[in-house]
Amino acid sequence: MGYLTIISETGFPHSACLFEYNGNAEWYGFKPNVPKTPRGAGHVDRTDRSPHIKDSVKFAIADAKLAQVIAQLLSKYEGLTYSVGTGPDCVNFSVDAAQWCGLKTPPRPNLFPGNLVTNLARLNANLVQ
């Protein structure tokens, strides 16, 4: 059994996901190529976000499902244009990760990373680790 952790960051609002599965811990998020740009070329970011965590929620998810969801995220988000608020953006990325892991997600639009963490915890209270 592995874990999906959805985070919001301190400072500039950002959401990202930590996938812990098969003995690995891997970060994934979606960011603009030019930092803090509201719209432009985007990329899947793999940098360790742990020093920047403000809020987080963690769920137990099967290892195989986590590996499958990572592949889906990479397939969908690689090469997309980042567009804050309307998507695709970092929050949409985290919502997709949660939804594809079988979690209940709040209705779109989801604009604020901190609210996403709170809403995921509320909607999936029985699954929070």
| Three-class secondary structure of residue 98 per DSSP | helix
The candidate with the shortest Cα–Cα distance to 37, out of 84, 76, 79, is 84
Q: In the numeric block, which tokens belong to residue 69?
A: 């969801």
CB 31 within 8 A of CB 91: no
Q: In the numeric block, which tokens belong to residue 81?
A: 């244009």
pLDDT digits (tens, 9 = 90+) for 82-127: 999 899 999 999 999 999 999 999 999 999 999 999 999 999 999 9
pLDDT digits (tens, 9 = 90+) for 23-44: 999 999 999 999 989 999 999 9
| Nearest-10 crossing angle of helices 90-100, 63-77 | 140
Q: Rounded to an integer, what is the distance from CA 36 to the centroid of its chain? A: 17
- State which CATH number among 1.10.10, 3.30.160, 3.90.1720, 1.10.357 fits the domain covering 2-127: 3.90.1720
Burial class (CB in 10 A: 0-12, 13-18, 19+), 42: buried
Mean pLDDT of 64-82: 98
CB 90 within 8 A of CB 30: yes
